[in-house]
């Protein structure tokens, strides 16, 4: 069971429609079988057109959602070579590197994509999430605040803000930010599941289960509830939370 810290902005169907969002495709909240079939479809698209950056970004996001972060990083390394100054490719590559715990390399990639005079809000948010993984949460939250001034109302920024507080065990503040994120237009299933996690870690199991039940099939709800209870028994519950 993996909890994704880098919340997606716009979920895109993995098959049957055009992929018109490369900002932060979110496949982590999809049902298992749908995710597996979508990965097959995206693999075929990527094989037929590896130069298309949109396909590469979506394929890598789908790979990460299925736990194949190493292959995702390899796909985006190739895409970086083909699109060396593309911010969206750089952001996606940094996320894939972070999923592999290659934090310093991810930080270098994302820093190279941020223009001081006109920073990209998604790049700032991703850099914040990398810093959170490195234990530098105060710096991360400064970046989330900066990103929100550029893109107020972006659910993914508020979600990362909340998860930053969760990683330092301030679950009350985490819940406040995640509830703001859930109320925003761009909220994804993964953001709602992260809210369920934070609610559950405060011992409110019925509420936690209800949130999961609105997002997932019964078997996954039970698995997630077991995961929440297991986290509560661990001395450092956030050391098992994986980067998305």
Is there a contact between 124 and 150 (Cβ–Cβ < 8 Å)? yes
Is there a contact between 210 and 192 (Cβ–Cβ < 8 Å)? no
Is there a contact between 208 and 200 (Cβ–Cβ < 8 Å)? yes
What whole-number percentage of the chain has pLDDT above 70?
A: 84
Is there a contact between 128 and 154 (Cβ–Cβ < 8 Å)? no
In this predicted model, what pLDDT tens digit does every residue of 178-187 receive, in sequence order? 999 999 998 9
**Where is pLDDT greater, at 233 or 201?**
201
Alpha helices in 49-136 (DSSP H): 53-65, 69-82, 87-99, 103-113, 121-133
Q: Write down the pTM of the prediction.
A: 0.80
Residue 19 is predicted with a pLDDT of 32
pLDDT class of 236 with cuts at 50, 70, 90: low
Report domain extents, the chain: 32-240
Residue 65 is predicted with a pLDDT of 85
In this predicted model, what pLDDT tens digit does every residue of 19-29 receive, in sequence order? 333 455 667 66
In this predicted model, what pLDDT tens digit does every residue of 183-224 receive, in sequence order? 999 898 889 999 999 999 999 999 999 999 999 889 989 999
Count of C-beta atoms within a 10 Å radius of residue 227 = 16
| Spatial CB neighbours of 88, under 8 Å, sequence gap ≥ 6 | 22, 23, 53, 57
In this predicted model, what pLDDT tens digit does every residue of 99-113 receive, in sequence order? 888 999 999 999 999
Is the confidence at residue 243, as pLDDT, over 50?
Answer: no
Residue 25 is predicted with a pLDDT of 67
In this predicted model, what pLDDT tens digit does every residue of 102-144 receive, in sequence order? 999 999 999 999 998 999 999 999 999 999 989 999 999 999 9
Say which CATH superfamily domain 32-240 falls into: Tetratricopeptide repeat domain (1.25.40.10)
């Amino acid at each position: 069971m993996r909890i994704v810290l880098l919340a997606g902005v716009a979920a895109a169907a993995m098959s049957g429609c055009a992929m018109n969002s490369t900002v932060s495709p979110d496949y982590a909240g999809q049902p298992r079988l749908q995710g597996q079939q979508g990965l097959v479809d995206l693999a075929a698209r990527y094989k037929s057109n590896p130069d298309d950056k949109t396909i590469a970004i979506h394929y890598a996001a789908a790979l990460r959602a299925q736990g194949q972060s190493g292959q995702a990083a390899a796909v985006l390394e190739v895409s970086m070579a083909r699109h060396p100054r593309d911010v969206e490719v750089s952001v996606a590559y940094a996320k894939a590197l972070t999923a592999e715990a290659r934090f310093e390399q991810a930080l270098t990639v994302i820093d190279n994509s941020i223009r001081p005079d006109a920073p990209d809000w998604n790049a700032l948010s991703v850099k914040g999430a990398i810093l959170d993984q490195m234990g530098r949460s105060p710096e991360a939250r400064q970046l989330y605040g900066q990103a929100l001034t550029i893109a107020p109302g972006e659910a993914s920024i508020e979600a990362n803000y909340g998860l930053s507080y969760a990683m330092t065990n301030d679950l009350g503040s985490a819940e406040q930010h995640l509830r703001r994120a859930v109320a925003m237009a761009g909220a994804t299933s993964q953001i709602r599941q992260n809210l369920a996690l934070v609610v559950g870690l405060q011992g409110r199991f019925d509420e936690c289960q209800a949130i999961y039940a609105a997002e997932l099939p019964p078997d996954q709800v039970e698995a997630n509830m077991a995961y929440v209870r297991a986290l509560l028994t661990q001395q450092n519950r956030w050391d098992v939370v994986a980067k998305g």
